[in-house]
Structure 1
Amino acid sequence: MRWDASPLGQGQIAADEVGSRRTTGTSVIPGVRALYCLRVIQPTPLAFRRNPLPNYGVMFIAAQEDPLLDKYVAEVRAHQFRQVHRRDAINELCMLLTVQGVTLSDVTPAALLHFTHENRQARCILQPGSQVSNRLIGRGVWNVLHSMGHFPPSTPESMRAALLRGQLSVEELVDQYEITNQAVRGLLIDYLTRRKADTDYSTLKDLACKLTRHFWKNIERINPDQEELRISPETYATWRQAITVKDDGKPRVGQDSIVIALRSFYYDLHTWAADEPERWAAWVAPCPVPPSELRGLGVRRRRINERSADRTRQRQPLLPLLVNHVETRYDRARLLLEQADKSAEGEVFTHEGSEYRRIRTEADRKFLRHGDAVPTRVQEVDSGRIVHIGTEEEGAFWEWAAVETLRHSGVRIEELCELTHLSIRQYQRANGEVIALLVIAPSKTDRERVIPMSAELFHVIASIIRRHTRTGRPIPLVSRFDYHDKVWSPPMPFLFQRQNGTTPMVFSTATIQVMLGRICEQLAKNHREFRGLKFTPHDFRRIFATELVNSGLPIHIGAALLGHLDVQTTRGYVAVFDEDIVRHYQEFLHHRREVRPEGEYRDTTEREWEEFEEHFDRRKVELGSCGRPYGTPCQHEHACIRCPMLHINPKMLGRLEELETDLLARLRRAQDENWLGEVEGINLTLTFLRAKREETQRRTRRPAVDLGIPTARRKEDH
């Protein structure tokens, strides 16, 4: 009791503050540590955290003489943890046993979660405002206890999985908005339960919010005596005005979606009452939404499409700057890391005109003594700034990989995070040519689709695979949490994953968005065009669609690559070039009507398949290959240098130099003869040639990715 009532026991002061003028009080700490280890006193998390106790875990374990605790320590050392995480896993468990006054056999998942939250509160008191203090500890403890079978089999594998709430029931979706009228509450629960059968969880959650929070909760606030769905025009008018602004006073953009959901709610009750009058007829009432409410809906949707088109029109010219930034940053970090890894401690080397010194901190040397890997650090000689180049290179790589994958594939952000090693397929033609394919798992449209990978996209995917497998082990199997449907996926080799402390984790969509925001903030320092501008993952998808259709690809093929069920959706994505869409789509329909008989979906004949394969052979030209769509002739009269569909083979860079020399000679002759039209044409050709050469040189600077060559197994291994 005296300990609990003392300032030291309450965590108000530290142990080194206890003492007189003749002593600093440091001798108190060993005594406090001994009392904790012998369980003489049971401290609070705040009191324990305020006094750092060196070697507490080792001394506590020795004092307990608990075989189960010794087994836990052995299990920690057997795990694939870094030394710092092994130390934390042992110390954090010893702290839990101390502050809760229990033995290891009594530790449950609930006890560990309680300990984690109490520690976060204590750390926030000791370090207010610090991001580190708000982090949850005990994740390594959870992993080890789960793997050694200490927790029940039904326990989630990770602490993160235990903390994330799954899907709410229909009752919970409705009750979170605290409706007063219990009869209407029951109606909404019945209505959403029936709608649950034909919709996904994310849509159901959104519908519950619109009907419960935005509709009936506001109706109760406007008219507390409202008991039925028969809404007076005056009440409806007040409600309609209320939803025009959000709770923070900003204008609400999605007003139409709320009104449409309300209108569908009333009409569904009318329809269902005809089949089940005993259940729904009592709630049938005139729909309060007047027909005039939806007038101009098409115009408003066109305004939304126009805003999206303006957004794409603004960002498309800035995409090269963003791509160059992430490539330059990654190349710089990668090359600096390579040089640093080759340098000895204390050695000075030069990179891009700056001098760096390879250093190791005292903490690094301690890790080395324990046989643990240490991060690569360098110090700028001029400024003295220490750079954790390993961490910087890791961040630069994933920013580059995310941007390149988004812009070369046009996938949605959820589809990017769901890419796995199993998403990579290949198709081998009869002549031996292999075409790489990227399989996109069912997402928004619940349909799987296949994207032929360009050389750039394949390089990015191969780089990600090589990064995961560089230690000789396969890509870790990780479960991904879907924040929309609130479910966990089965363990799969996801491509966009990285190690987070003791646990590998898949990138969340929010992490990718934060990455893009950080890139734009960095660019804004030197490019005023990026000030106040953000790129979202969907911006890359819209730009990808625009470039596809603008390059001559029929819009129905673009829709298939993007995963759109309706061509009109694709048309909205590429509204920047509206006249090109109409022209290409009409040309496609006209051509299809001419050449396609009624039995166009019959089985492919051998001759047709040969023509399909020959098409790819005819696309091979002197400088590389042509990317024109299948079944279409050359639209540029074989003026390949000017054609946007030409993909230059890096081996032909020397030929481009020869062509440039010849064009410059022709340009001088044309200028001497005053052939102004010829001068204009040659200058245009030179512009295209130099742009293609720069693009090809940029691609050749990417390091080659060696995925290894599989060896044939011996017969006895089969």
Structure 2
Amino acid sequence: MTAGSSTQVDAPLDMKVDTGPGGADPVVAGELVTVVAKPTGSQLLAAFPPRRIEASWPATEETRSAVLARVLAAPFTLDNRLSQQTRRTGVLSVLSWLQTHPGESWQQRWQASGAENQSDWRTIVTVTAAGRSRSQVAVGRQLPHLSPGLLVLICADVIRPSLAWLLRFAPARRGLATEMARTRDRETFAALEQFCSQGRVGLQTGQQALTRVGVIMASKGGSVAAVRVGDCVELLQAAAELRATAGSEAHAHSPLFYQLLRRHGVLGQDAPAAIEMFSGRGQPTCEQLIDRYKITCRPVRDLLVDYLRERQPSVDFSSLQRFAYLLGKLFWADLEAHHPGIDSLQLPRDVATAWKQRVMTRTRTTTGSDGEPVTVTSARLDGRSVLSAVRAFYLDIAEWADDDPGRWGPWAVRCPVSASNVSHKKDRSQRKSRMDQRTRERLPVLPALLTWVQAERDRTADLLAAAEASAPGEVFTASGQTLRRTVMSTPTTGRVWVEPADGGGRRDLSFEEHRGFWTWATVEVLRHTGIRIEELTELSHHGLIQYRLPGTGELIPLLQIAPSKTLSRRSDQRPSRVHHPTPRATSRRGIPHPHRRGMGRVHRSLRTPQGLSR
């Protein structure tokens, strides 16, 4: 590319493109990366606080007659006469029971009753109504109309139970999302259900997400539009505390409800893209990095912290963390373990020699065939890197002592690691030999691997297509297999289940096709681009850009690799076949597959933008 030439760059819509002075070549934002500190979880929590719990509100201060007049009319009534009669009886029973407790509002009476402290509040009401002791009421024989009655009062905002109780007591959540949609916010719940349907989210998974929204509305009041980011975080924190409690909901930690609310725009434009960001503690400070290794000598500990601070502006966090590990653990913590009381960087010759011998080996304890622990010592592959880091540490201090003798001068001493100790020539030769040997061993089987992943992808796709074209209970044959589509008692969305025609275990063909595709896409991208694994996990459809030659107008596809080891992006020209798997990946559904956690890295290799349909 020459200066002053006319160029055209077809970049993704969300990529900022600036034009250079005088119409020069455009500069794509991102090639010069400015490191901006991301907010920590605590900072995000302060920026998005939950709504406070109100002590009283108009609906809970109404009289008994006003409450009955409201909850026994539309939209709280049901068309079915028997069901409506059950609800009416339940509302009357719950209100009569609450009136026996002190308080100026129904919420105060609910809290005074201690219902949330009981394993099942319905037992207390049943005992009171029957005039018998609690031991005389059999388990599961509580009055059947109590739960429907309480559900009506919750949806009518007469009572607001706590988040913890709603998550712990499963019967209180039964039908909650449906009733909240019917009585408070029908349109928004319909939109959230539509998002689940478009994303092919399973019926049970989607219902659980809508129930999470209903739980927040029941505890804090208001419609879906009143839900805040802090309310979602508060719910997940309460679920985390109750996850190990018997009877608590196992799936309450799923963030799908947050994704649905954010996509609908309820949470606002400033809402973080992922709720997991609130649990992030941010990057550790230099002091925290060094204090991991419990260094006894305080002056040396402070010196290591100051050294990391000096290096911090010029290195990324991974490198800084690596320096802390090499200098803090493998160097000084090892010296203190073998020479207690050491307090100077001026190491005696025998101490330095012994340390260099230890650092070149790695000792680990395993269990032998007889069950006894066995200590195994092997060569440390990166031993020279440890020596290089320590040598750089000593030489940097000596150089900085010339500019700031008061700060670094007392620590400028002879380096115990010579230049010959850090020569990597032999290590590089041995490493290249190992890499070449691995390549020689694996290259002959590469065609077999490619054939297998392609065949597996085609096989799973054919099976899924044949199953989707079959009716439940119908037998079909595809890819040499005779299967029967499973008849499900509850309809499922996004999953196609089959079972062998002659009997056997049930199989999820949706997941098999999902795994087959992403395995094929991972192998194809890796073999055509040669990128590293960490770069592959960051690859998305935004990395596909196009460059048009100014003279001929020819369109050249480019693959933009996100920063990995450096702070600058790179764009590599690749053959057109490189882009073959990536468009197929970006055309797949955006909301995660129900079995995403089972896929691990395979699913996350090529990130799919949300909102795309297959």
Aligned residue among 133, 141, 158 for 2:258: 141
CA 216–168 in structure 1, closer or farther in 2 if over 3 Å, else same: same
Q: 1:354 matched to which residue of 2? A: 481
Distance 2:180 2:594 in 1: 23
Comparing both chains, which one has the higher relative contact order based on Cα–Cα distances under 8 Å and sequence gaps of 6 or more? 2
Matched AA of 1:411: I
Q: 2:414 matched to which residue of 1? A: 286
Q: 1:616 matched to which residue of 2? A: none
Aligned residue among 193, 199, 207 for 2:309: 193
* Equivalence map 1:422-501=2 (5 Å): 422-425=543-546, 436-444=557-565, 446=568, 448-453=570-575, 455=577, 457-467=578-588, 498-500=590-592
Aligned residue among 269, 273, 282 for 2:397: 269
Quick check: 1:92–1:138 contact (8 Å CA) kept in 2?
no
Distance 2:420 2:591 in 1: 55
Distance 1:387 1:347 in 2: 15
What SS does structure 1 have at the residue aligned with 2:468?
helix
* Equivalence map 1:410-425=2 (5 Å): 410-416=530-536, 417-425=538-546
Displacement of 1:362: 2.5
Matched AA of 1:459: H
For structure 1, the 5+ residue unaligned runs are: 10-17, 368-372, 469-497, 516-718
Matched AA of 1:197: P
CA 115–381 in structure 1, closer or farther in 2 if over 3 Å, else same: same
1:395 and 2:510 are equivalent in the alignment: no
Per-residue CA distance 1:291-320 (angstroms, 9 max, x = gap): 56346x422332222222222222112222
CA 51–245 in structure 1, closer or farther in 2 if over 3 Å, else same: farther
Q: 1:227 matched to which residue of 2? A: 343
Distance 1:73 1:328 in 2: 42
Displacement of 1:430: 8.7
What SS does structure 2 have at the residue aligned with 1:499?
coil
**Total equivalences in the alignment:** 459
Distance 2:116 2:429 in 1: 68
Per-residue CA distance 1:226-265 (angstroms, 9 max, x = gap): 3332233344345445543257666443222112101100
Quick check: 2:462–2:479 contact (8 Å CA) kept in 1?
no
Q: 2:209 matched to which residue of 1? A: 89
* Equivalence map 1:110-189=2 (5 Å): 112-120=232-240, 122-126=242-246, 133=250, 136-141=253-258, 143-144=260-261, 148=265, 150=267, 155-189=271-305
Per-residue CA distance 1:257-285 (angstroms, 9 max, x = gap): 11210110000000111122122112212
* Equivalence map 1:18-33=2 (5 Å): 25=140, 27=142, 31=146
Per-residue CA distance 1:423-455 (angstroms, 9 max, x = gap): 243667999986654444554354524233154
Matched AA of 1:202: S
What SS does structure 1 have at the residue aligned with 2:314?
coil
Distance 2:161 2:208 in 1: 23
Matched AA of 2:544: S
Distance 2:288 2:395 in 1: 25
Quick check: 2:216–2:235 contact (8 Å CA) kept in 1?
yes
Per-residue CA distance 1:160-204 (angstroms, 9 max, x = gap): 233344433333333444444443333223222221222222212
TM-score normalized by the length of structure 1: 0.54
Per-residue CA distance 1:467-488 (angstroms, 9 max, x = gap): 46xxxxxxxxxxxxxxxxxxxx
Q: 1:553 matched to which residue of 2? A: none
Q: 1:212 matched to which residue of 2? A: 328
Matched AA of 2:429: R
What SS does structure 1 have at the residue aligned with 2:477?
strand
What SS does structure 2 have at the residue aligned with 1:415?
helix
Matched AA of 1:425: Q
CA 314–154 in structure 1, closer or farther in 2 if over 3 Å, else same: same
Distance 2:390 2:117 in 1: 59
Q: 2:69 matched to which residue of 1? A: none
CA 242–114 in structure 1, closer or farther in 2 if over 3 Å, else same: farther
Displacement of 1:287: 1.6
What SS does structure 1 have at the residue aligned with 2:490?
helix
Q: 1:511 matched to which residue of 2? A: 601
What SS does structure 1 have at the residue aligned with 2:210?
helix
What SS does structure 2 have at the residue aligned with 1:379?
strand
Quick check: 1:60–1:94 contact (8 Å CA) kept in 2?
yes
Displacement of 1:149: 5.1
Per-residue CA distance 1:19-66 (angstroms, 9 max, x = gap): 88996615467635755746486584697256585213345678xx8x
CA 30–43 in structure 1, closer or farther in 2 if over 3 Å, else same: farther
Per-residue CA distance 1:319-338 (angstroms, 9 max, x = gap): 22222221111110111222
Quick check: 2:116–2:165 contact (8 Å CA) kept in 1?
no
Distance 1:429 1:108 in 2: 50
What SS does structure 2 have at the residue aligned with 1:245?
strand
1:335 and 2:452 are equivalent in the alignment: no
Distance 2:588 2:170 in 1: 41
Quick check: 1:76–1:89 contact (8 Å CA) kept in 2?
no
CA 266–118 in structure 1, closer or farther in 2 if over 3 Å, else same: same
CA 273–71 in structure 1, closer or farther in 2 if over 3 Å, else same: farther
What SS does structure 2 have at the residue aligned with 1:288?
coil
Displacement of 1:389: 1.5
Displacement of 1:344: 3.2
CA 71–281 in structure 1, closer or farther in 2 if over 3 Å, else same: farther
Distance 1:29 1:228 in 2: 77
CA 56–434 in structure 1, closer or farther in 2 if over 3 Å, else same: closer
Quick check: 1:440–1:449 contact (8 Å CA) kept in 2?
yes
Displacement of 1:384: 3.9
CA 454–94 in structure 1, closer or farther in 2 if over 3 Å, else same: closer
1:309 and 2:425 are equivalent in the alignment: no
Displacement of 1:207: 1.2
CA 376–160 in structure 1, closer or farther in 2 if over 3 Å, else same: same
Distance 2:280 2:420 in 1: 44
Q: 1:260 matched to which residue of 2? A: 388
Quick check: 1:272–1:280 contact (8 Å CA) kept in 2?
yes
Tell me the C-alpha RMSD between the 2 structures.
4.4
Q: 1:665 matched to which residue of 2? A: none
What SS does structure 2 have at the residue aligned with 1:344?
coil
For structure 2, the 5+ residue unaligned runs are: 1-112, 122-132, 366-374, 606-614
Per-residue CA distance 1:518-544 (angstroms, 9 max, x = gap): xxxxxxxxxxxxxxxxxxxxxxxxxxx
Distance 1:42 1:322 in 2: 55
Q: 2:448 matched to which residue of 1? A: 321
Matched AA of 1:25: G
Q: Which has the higher helix share?
A: 1
Identity of aligned residues (%): 26
Displacement of 1:96: 5.0
TM-score normalized by the length of structure 2: 0.62
